[in-house]
Amino acid sequence: MNEPLTHHVSCGLLVRAGHVFLVHRSPSKAWFPDVWDLPGGHVEPGESSRQALVRELREELGVEITPPGGNALLTRRAADVFLEVWRVDEWDGDIVNAAPDEHDAFDWFSLDKAMSLDLADDEYPALFKQVLT
């Protein structure tokens, strides 16, 4: 009997000046289409979640970060997903949409505005409150 495939995902919660940075997933995406999400993606074989976050933010946003230390803000295991969310306060470079096939929009949001969005994960509002209050 085969074990179910688990997707290991590492995401960054970018925080600056009382706002969080979110990307809007393209309506054509198979997973979580047409919702606001955190930038990040799948951990590749041989990568740590921190290494994946560095690579994903480079690929998706065109920025360079130092791998985060400490513990992830959120670690959650579901039936087919292992999700880690890391706080990111510093990066080098200007954020661009370097993956327009994945995201059709991106922006900075205040806590109130972020809470009003259609989000990819029900636990995001608690994270936003944690980092913005």
Q: What percent of the chain has pLDDT over 90?
A: 80
In the chain, what are the domains? 7-132 (3.90.79.10)
- What is the pTM for the complete model shown? 0.91
Q: What tokens were used for 33?
A: 């289409």
37-67 tens-digit pLDDT: 999 999 999 999 999 999 999 999 999 999 9
Residue 126 carries which DSSP code?
Answer: H
| Mean per-residue pLDDT of the chain | 92
